[in-house]
């Protein structure tokens, strides 16, 4: 067994391994000058709709939510969205750019169990991960779609324990999203906040166990 207190290194996908705002380029190509605004609102509504649907008990896949959020963002930006442009933009979400250190870090974690755990449905995650160079370095790709409970509900994080056959304290969970870090820490995971933009942690009475500016920081837990 590798020499670490953690048996499983579990990563959020969007914003942690993959840059959600790499869609700006495609947004600007289709709607010149509006790319940054559309991308920002698209992501904002994507998260908001998942939280609201969880609270209302009206679950649908993250792919459906991503489409709904895109349609809102384009209406808000006064950008005419045809069926073809909608498909192009949704397809761009399946080809997000990964952060440059991701493959290096996953290679150095090879003696350990590694997984992605995401709100994304598998019909989003599978093409996204398969087009990356690090797909073979992951042991598991876990989607909340299996339990139909979006993060940060406790029931969603339970999926990691069941699928990876580990205890809560044996998991190091990485995310760039503060709400995800709060949810995972509340559930009992050790957490590493990947704070790429140098932001402040949300005031929820919960702090990450570790904070790093990129994924390389977690390698201090690998001996």
| pLDDT value of position 4 | 73
Own/partner contacts of 151-155, CB < 8 Å, gap of 24 or more, are 151/117, 151/119, 151/179, 151/180, 151/183, 151/184, 152/179, 152/180, 152/182, 152/183, 152/184, 152/186, 153/54, 153/183, 154/183, 154/186, 154/187
pTM of the model: 0.94
Q: What is the pLDDT of residue 5?
A: 87
76 is catalytic: no
Which class in CATH covers the domain with range 8-19+97-221?
alpha beta
Q: State the fold for domain 20-93.
A: DNA polymerase; domain 1 (1.10.150)
Q: Which of 3, 12, 145, 214 is catalytic?
A: 12
Whole-number pLDDT of residue 1: 42
Residue stretches of the chain with pLDDT short of 70? 1-3
Q: What is the pLDDT of residues 102-134, one digit of tens each?
A: 999 999 999 899 999 999 999 999 999 999 999
What pLDDT does 3 receive? Answer: 54
Delimit the domains of the chain by residue range. Answer: 8-19+97-221, 20-93
């Amino acid at each position: 067994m590798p020499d670490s207190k953690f048996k499983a290194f579990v990563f959020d996908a969007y914003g942690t391994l993959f840059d959600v705002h790499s869609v700006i380029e495609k947004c600007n190509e289709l709607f010149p000058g509006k790319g940054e605004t559309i991308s920002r609102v698209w992501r904002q509504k994507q998260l908001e709709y998942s939280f609201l649907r969880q609270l209302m008990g009206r679950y649908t896949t993250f792919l459906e939510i991503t489409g709904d959020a895109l349609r809102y963002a384009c209406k808000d930006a006064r950008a005419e969205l045809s069926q073809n442009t909608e498909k192009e933009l949704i397809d761009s979400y399946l080809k997000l750019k990964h952060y440059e250190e991701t493959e290096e870090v996953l290679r150095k974690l090879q003696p350990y169990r590694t997984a992605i755990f995401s709100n994304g449905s598998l019909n989003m995650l599978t093409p996204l991960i398969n087009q990356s160079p690090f797909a073979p370095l992951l042991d598991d790709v876990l989607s909340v779609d299996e339990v139909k409970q979006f993060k940060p509900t406790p029931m969603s994080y339970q999926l990691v324990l069941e699928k990876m056959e580990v205890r809560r304290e044996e998991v190091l969970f990485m995310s760039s999203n503060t709400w995800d870090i709060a949810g995972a820490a509340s559930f009992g995971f050790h957490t590493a906040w990947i704070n790429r933009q140098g932001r402040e942690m949300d005031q929820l009475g919960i702090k990450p166990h570790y904070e790093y500016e990129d994924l390389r920081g977690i390698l201090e837990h690998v001996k």
